[in-house]
Amino acid sequence: MTVLARADAEGIARAVEILREGGLVAFPTETVYGLGADATSGWAVARIYDAKGRPSFNPLIAHVADLAAAQREALLPEAAVRLAEAFWPGPLTIVAPAAPGGSVSELARAGLPSVALRIPDHPVALALIAALGRPVAAPSANRSGHVSPVTAAHVAEDLSGRVDMILDGGRTAAGLESTIVSFCEGAPALLRPGAIAREKIEKALGLKLAAPPRAEVLAPGMTASHYAPNARLRLEAHELEEGEAALDFGGRLTPLASDGAVTLDLSPSGDLVEAAANLFTFLRELDARGALRVAVAHIPERGLGEAINDRLRRAAAPRL
Ligand code: TXA
Ligand code: MG
């Protein structure tokens, strides 16, 4: 059931409780309404993708309360700090290498070594993030492929019954998403034009923004920088070959494993939300445990299964 609440002190307090328990809260920012979850919980973030009906795991923006919080999550070069000081709080998202020890979950970063951060310029959003005391992951609060919502009613049209709460803070001011600038490799690059004009950012930086590197914005999952395991994956496995590790789902392959074989079950109970929450962490874990070949159990193509299978197919694709 979706609670529609006014974004007053009481509504915000309820929303914080819901986020703390791993629930979903749609909330206003100065750009568009965001579909928020605790960014540090892979499980909560998995529910965002599920509610949006996203066919693949796009990396999400983690909303933070202040610059110090941003610097705990990302290695911000000096130019990024200058830009942050000029435009935060505001509709600027900075993508930078994730800091060691950062708290944003692997799933929110879609397995990338980088993280997207912004401080929204909206009292409701800021109160929510500050009270939670953790970054809030939030894409726009619409079903995948629909237009971004600028009122609580728009959110309800798309997501009623799919989120725990919608905080109504009236119409958003900008009505356009944040401008995304990447400080990952080479010169700062404009990944997405948005509510702050390119010229303003170039003026603050004292240089021209570069074009985004390759297909990164359109399809983050396809880039070389996107995490792919060293191990070779064999999908739709129904049995285990000699020397294979198992990436299981619903306990199908695990009983077939010989002693000492590495087996990880994305969700022993066959829950696709749990499987999504574990996916990127388990791919890393397989590498850490030295698996060279991995049999991956069949994962149903419904719900989050579509996004999980999309990611597994990319991870299994032949590489250069
Ligand atoms: O105004 C906004 O930015 C709104 C409000 C809610 O804050 N949020 C929003 O989020 O538009 P979303 O998920 O719809 O767009 C986030 C985009 C992704 O599609 C992706 O292109 C980019 O941010 N992104 C996030 N993390 C990235 C990363 N590590 N590397 C490259 N691109 C990234
Ligand atoms: Mg969007």
Amino acid at 166: I
User: Which SS3 state, helix, strand or coil, does residue 205 take?
Assistant: helix
Nearest CA residue ID for atom 14, ligand 1 = 139
- Dmax of the chain from CA atoms? 62
- Residue 117 neighbours by CB under 8 Å, 6+ apart: 61, 62, 63, 64, 70, 73, 74, 93, 94, 95, 96, 135
Instruction: Give the closest ligand to the alpha carbon of residue 219.
Output: 1
Residue ranges with CB less than 5 Å from ion ligand 2: 140
Task: Say yes or no: CB of residue 220 within 6 Å of ligand 1.
Answer: yes
pTM: 0.87
Q: What is the pLDDT of residue 215?
A: 54
Task: Say yes or no: CB of residue 190 within 6 Å of ligand 1.
Answer: no
pLDDT band (50, 70, 90) for residue 264: very high
- C-alpha of residue 116 to centroid of ligand 2, in Å: 14
pLDDT band (50, 70, 90) for residue 291: very high
* pLDDT per residue as tens digits for the range 63-95: 999 999 999 999 999 999 999 999 999 999 999
- Residue to mutate, 35, 93, 142, ligand 1, most ligand atoms under 8 Å from C-beta: 93
Q: What is the pLDDT of residue 217?
A: 46
- C-alpha of residue 234 to centroid of ligand 1, in Å: 31
Asked whether the beta carbons of 133 and 30 are under 8 A apart, the reply is no
Residue with tokens 């509610």: 51
Task: Say yes or no: CB of residue 196 within 6 Å of ligand 1.
Answer: no
Nearest CA residue ID for atom 17, ligand 1 = 60
Q: What is the pLDDT of residue 227?
A: 55
Q: What is the pLDDT of residue 220?
A: 47
Task: Say yes or no: CB of residue 253 within 6 Å of ligand 1.
Answer: no
Average pLDDT score over the chain: 92
* pLDDT per residue as tens digits for the range 210-256: 988 765 444 444 443 345 788 999 999 999 999 999 999 999 999 99
Separation CA 31–CA 44 (nearest Å): 23
Closest CA to 263 of 295, 288, 238, 237: 295
Q: What is the pLDDT of residue 307?
A: 82
Q: What is the pLDDT of residue 221?
A: 44
Whole-number Cα distances in Å, 33 to 59, 73, 143, 171: 17, 23, 12, 9
> 117 or 227: whose pLDDT is higher?
117
298 has pLDDT over 50: yes
